[in-house]
Structure formats: structure tokens, C-alpha cells
A and B are shown apart, each in its own frame.
Chain A
């Protein structure tokens, strides 16, 4: 089923009765060339690019719940390419370029909205860092603009500029950054993969990974054993448990990250705004709700809900930055499980087991990575060599120190990224 303007008008006039399911609902086969564990954004995009770029279509995506029920449907939808360090910068730059062609490529409205992201700074030191980061972004071929306070006041008049603790000194703007409708991203990739022959199998939990003589041979699932020549572990917050099935320990600790949405309001916040002091970020959804969040809850957790101290912290940061939102009613809050790596950077790599691949460590920033992660993962699984945009996202970098990408410069503690 393809979308087109004509089709939308026709369906609109005929009671929308002609739309069909977006993907097939097959039963698992006995064997596949590639089995992908995890039907989140990264698993689905990997399946899509395996089929589209490499012609590998004898593929199954095994999802223990429903497609898009994990973090791909829980995040605050921010898409940007303002990373600083070599390794990350080329990867996220690659991802943003894929975002820019995504709707056409998928024939799916993912509501990619390049409304611009402003990262505020609050001291001379932070300004220097913002200038360096802006230069790095421009060097990698992306856009960045430094905004003075005067420029900012014209663009976003509603911030509390002169507050005593964190006066606003300016901001770094990336105009090509913005948001996208997270569920639609999962659905678009799912439909694209399914149409190309990939089997998307929901309610199918992987419970074991079969390895013989150092080579992967398949998986055990809640719907029976499935043989596979190659297996890709793409399970975000559950990475440690998945890897443990293959006898591996990962440099990952799982943490909960919360987010919030208010009642629908008239359009008032036109950009994505990040508060550099309180770790608070906010945007307004197309439905009008203010979508915002802040820090991790800061201790290892698998509860897809948070605790109240962080709720209070996020609200305080929001009120400090923009007192005007104080009257808005928060409708919902929720949490997702983040696979925090010790350097805050992701891992896309082969494992020491032949045919077994790993994609994890997305921390709290993996939504924007969905296109490039799938693109690079598919390249790795299909060809056996890393894609050049992901060449440094290796598992052994912690041991060797080579290409260590400590984006925040905070060291090896998982919750600090």
C-alpha cells in the first residue's frame, strides 16, 4: 500500500475504507539468512536497508512485544547532528542526511520537522565550548550558527534571560535539527521492510542464542527454534540480557529516562530548546503538547517508569528557564530504558562469535540515529566490514583506548552520560 495525494483524497471521499494493514503478519519460518532480535527503530531500519541496499530479504525481525513498543515510541523525538568528537560527528551527520530524504525514500510521512534546535549557554566557558562545537559541526559539513542574546531575545522572547543563577549568554543554533514523529518512523521502516519480503514477527521473544564451534546457528524463541546464518542483537535497553544469551558481558548499564507531555496548547514554542545548565529540553508537538525531559534517574533501572525526585528536578529546570509554562497541565509522564555505555557513544560491531553482530549503547540519544544505525548495521551484516560512517563505533575501544569517544568528558561511569 502506497500513499499519494490522490489516494488520500479518494479515501477521504469514500470513508477511508480502502486502507490496508501496513505490514504482513507472517508465522516464523524454520530458517532465515539473517535474524534480527528487536523490533525497535534500529532493528527495523537495519532490516529495511538489508533488503533495500543489499538485496538480502530472507530476514526476520523478532520482537517480544509489538513493533515500536520500546524506546522508539517513548522518546522526545529530537533529531540533530551536533556531535563533536570524531567517530560520532561523521555518524550523526550521515544520519541527518538520511533523515532529510527519509519521507521520500519510505513513501511515509514521518513528520520530520526541521524547526531548528537551540542549545543555550550560560557562562563564558560554555560560550567557548559552543563556538568550538559549532566549528566542528561546520567542518563535518553540517550547519551551526552562534546566536547573541539580542538575536535570541528576538527569536525566543519568553525565556528568563536575566535570572540570577543561570543568566543566558547566547545559544548555538542548528537549523537543520528538529523533531520527527517517532511512531511513524518505526511504522514507515516496518512497512518498507515488510514490502521487500522481510518477516516482522511480533510477540516472539528470543530466549536463547545457539552457538556451535564459535559460530552462531540460530535462536530459541517463545515461538520455537529458528535457524539463522547471521544474528543481529539490536535490543537497546535489554542489550545486556540479549548478549548474556551468547555468554557475553557488555559495557552497558541500563537506566531509566523520563519524559513528560502537557495538554495541547496553541503554538508557542517554535524550536527545540535545550537548557545547558539544568539539562532540560523542550519542544512543542504538532498536536500542541509541550514535550520535555531532563536527566536520567541516575541509578540502574529496568522499570519503564521513573521516580518522583527527577520529576521535581525536571519541573524546576523548566520553570527556571521559561516561567511561562508554569500554568500548563502535565498530562502524562513515562520512562524508557536506556543502554548507557561508559563513554556515551554507541557500539555497532561484530562480536567474537562468527555471524553474531551487536548494535547497542545508544544511551538517551538513539532516536536521531535510527536511519544511520540501520544503514551502517546492514552494511556490516551484509559485507562483514564496518561502514565508513560507523568505523569507530567498535566494541574493543574501551580496552584498547583507540577512538574512545567520550562525548561529555565524564569518564567511565555509565550514568554520567
Chain B
């Protein structure tokens, strides 16, 4: 699997650190309550098919990249800097 870092270009997957589903970016408000925080920290849609997850280009430029990817075929569909998604 190869991932295109929006800054560095196409790179080996091993340059990146996987950090789970990109919903990590949708942080609840501090006072959102236990239910919302439990959901945010632990629960996942976990789709078989297209998903968005968060990768850190640790052996490259250090950017956080949102990768749109198919979990059944391992096809990488699109990548975007996390800071550009909000």
C-alpha cells in the first residue's frame, strides 16, 4: 500500500503512523457528557468498504493526513491534509 502525502508525494505506507478513524478530528465539546465522549473515544462505524482514517507522516514531513481508503481492497482513493478538512 502506498499513500500520497499532499506535501511529499507518493510514499511507502511504512513512512506513516496509523492513528485510527478520522472521526478523531470531530472532537466533542468538553462538556458534551460521558455518552458523547465514550462514543468518540471508543466506538467506530468500522465500515467494510470506503472509510477515512488519519495517518501521521512521521518519517516524512510530519503532516497529519486524512486518507480515504477502501478497507476491503486496500485501494487508496484520496488524501488530504488534516488541517484542510475543517
Contacts and interface: CB of A to CB of B under 8 A. Distances in A.
Interface of A: 238, 240-241, 244, 249-254, 298-303, 307, 309, 342, 398-399, 412-415
Residue among A241, A252, A300, A398 with the highest chain B CB neighbour number at 10 A: A300
Given A249-B39, A307-B1, A414-B20, A301 B71 contact: yes
24 contacts: A238-B48, A240-B45, A241-B48, A249-B44, A250-B44, A251-B43, A251-B44, A252-B44, A252-B46, A253-B21, A253-B46, A298-B18, A300-B20, A300-B46, A303-B71, A303-B72, A307-B13, A309-B13, A398-B41, A399-B34, A412-B41, A413-B19, A414-B20, A414-B44
Contact of B20 (A254, A301, A413): A413
Contacts of B1: 307
Contact of A254 (B13, B43, B46, B53): B46
Contacts of B39: 249
Contact of B46 (A250, A298, A303, A398): A250
B42 A342 contact: yes
B14 interface: yes
Nearest to B47: A240
Interface size range on B against A: 20 to 34
Contacts of A414: 20, 44
Interface string B42-60: 1111111101010000000
B18 A249 contact: no
A252 B48 CA distance: 12
A298 B13 CA distance: 11
A303 B70 CA distance: 10
A399 B71 contact: no
Given A241-B46, A251-B44, 13 more contacts: A249-B45, A253-B44, A254-B48, A298-B18, A301-B71, A302-B49, A303-B74, A398-B38, A399-B35, A399-B42, A413-B19, A413-B20, A415-B20
A216 B35 CA distance: 24
Contacts of A413: 19-20
Interface in B53-69: 53
Interface of B: 1, 12-14, 18-21, 34-35, 38-39, 41-49, 51, 53, 71-74
Mostly, the A contact residues are: mixed
A250 B43 contact: yes
A303 B14 CA distance: 18
A302 B38 CA distance: 25
A75 to B, nearest CB: 20
A254 B34 contact: no
A415 B12 CA distance: 19
A244 B46 CA distance: 10
B41 A342 contact: yes
B48 A299 contact: no
Given A299-B53, A415-B18, A249 B71 contact: no
A414 B45 CA distance: 13
Residue of B13, B19, B42, B48 with highest tally of chain A CB at under 10 A:
B42
A307 B73 CA distance: 11
A254 B51 CA distance: 12
Given A251-B44, A398-B42, A301 B35 contact: no
A137 B18 CA distance: 33
A249 B41 CA distance: 12
Contacts of A302: 48-49, 71-72
B46 to A, nearest CB: 4
Contacts of A298: 18
A253 B18 CA distance: 13
A399 B34 CA distance: 7
Contacts of A412: 41-42
B73 A303 contact: yes
